[in-house]
Amino acid sequence: MRVEPRLRAFAALARHGSFTRAADELLISQPAVSKHVSSLERELKTKLVARDHHHVAMTPAGEVLADYVLRAEALLANGRRHVGSVAGGTAGTLAIAASGIPGTYVVPTVIARYREELPSVDINFDLATSGGVLELVRAHKVELGIVGGLVPATELEGEPFVEDEIVLIGPPAFRGKRMSRKDLEQVTWISREEGSATRELLESARYEMALNIRRRLALPSWEAIKLAVAHGAGVAAISKFALALELQTGSVVILDVPRWHVRRQLSVVSARDIPLSPAAERFRSLLLSMWRPSDPSVSPGAA
């Protein structure tokens, strides 16, 4: 990617003020430099340089052109470096999306590590329902999606990377209480909106346990759900990844519920028809290395 030869010759002449030194820089002859400059003068219909036997000076028109050409050379050099950085995955913009649980409690840990390694890569990060994330990937609006559950083998490539346990939580007043089916049918069940993968798991578990849920409350975020549960508004099915602080402080408790064994995989998703950029490939690799446990006894995310 080079400036047009006549402009390169003119830029070299402007830098050095000498046909000899300009020719040396470009590894061409002095007459070739002169020919290029004369060609520009004919095209622009004005003198660009004032020549004598001992000195070369820019005319006012030449000074204007020299300013533009030298800046253009600098911009092209920067562009070349930037393109190389983007192609190498060390610069540019990475677009990713995730559903509620992985987007709130998994992906931010990866972003923090990624920014340490590649601070010049800008990240556009969207939160959506699992279905919304898959649509963003399918429409090529994001390169990577992280969702709860397995991804059907369609035009999307899904790779599970960690098991997610879904537990039932209640307020501290329920500590030590074994919840019967009758108990569960009498409380309010708090969940995310329709389209949430965790809500779909809840519905599946409810049918398996033949639970008749009479009272429901839908809230827009997991933080709102945990706060509502802590204040006694009801119970909720939620990923254990979301409960580190609450279990430590005792603001909520995991309920003892017979036959409640709900697990799923978190998956990273990409489009099959377009290869990942180096920046996206590095993010995916970092996600897997941090959250895919090499030893089941090791807590994921600690890498």
Position 302 in a domain: no
Residue 299 lies inside a defined structural domain of this protein: no
pLDDT the model gives residue 303: 41
Question: What is the extent of the structural domain holding 105?
Answer: 92-162+265-291
Q: What pTM value is reported for the model?
A: 0.67
Domain end (from 87, 109, 138): 87
The residues, any chain, with a CB within 8 Å of residue 257's CB and separated by 6 or more, are: 168, 178, 179, 184
- Per-residue confidence (pLDDT) for residue 2, from 0 to 100: 66
Tokens for 263, please give them: 């697990």
* CATH number of the domain bearing residue 241: 3.40.190.10
Q: Give domain status of residue 20, yes or no.
A: yes
What is the pLDDT, as a whole number, of residue 202?
79
In the chain, how many domains are there? 3
Out of 54, 87, 120, pick the residue that ends a domain.
Answer: 87
pLDDT, residue 296, reads 47
Residue 80 lies in a domain: yes
What pLDDT was estimated at residue 300? Answer: 58
Q: What is the pLDDT of residue 275?
A: 86
Q: How far is Cα 6 from Cα 238, in angstroms, rounded to an integer?
A: 67
pLDDT score for 194: 74
What pLDDT does residue 297 have?
45
Query: Is residue 300 in some structural domain?
Result: no
**Do residue 201 and residue 158 come from a single domain?**
no
Task: Encode the chain (303 residues) as per-residue pLDDT tens digits.
Answer: 567 899 999 999 998 899 999 999 999 999 999 999 999 999 999 999 998 766 789 999 999 999 999 888 877 876 776 677 677 767 788 999 999 899 999 999 999 999 999 998 999 999 998 889 999 998 898 999 999 888 876 789 999 999 999 999 999 999 988 998 889 899 999 988 776 777 777 788 877 787 888 899 999 889 999 999 999 999 999 999 999 999 999 999 999 998 888 899 999 999 988 888 889 999 999 999 999 876 544 445 544
Q: What is the pLDDT of residue 81?
A: 63
Q: Are residues 73 and 103 in the same domain?
A: no
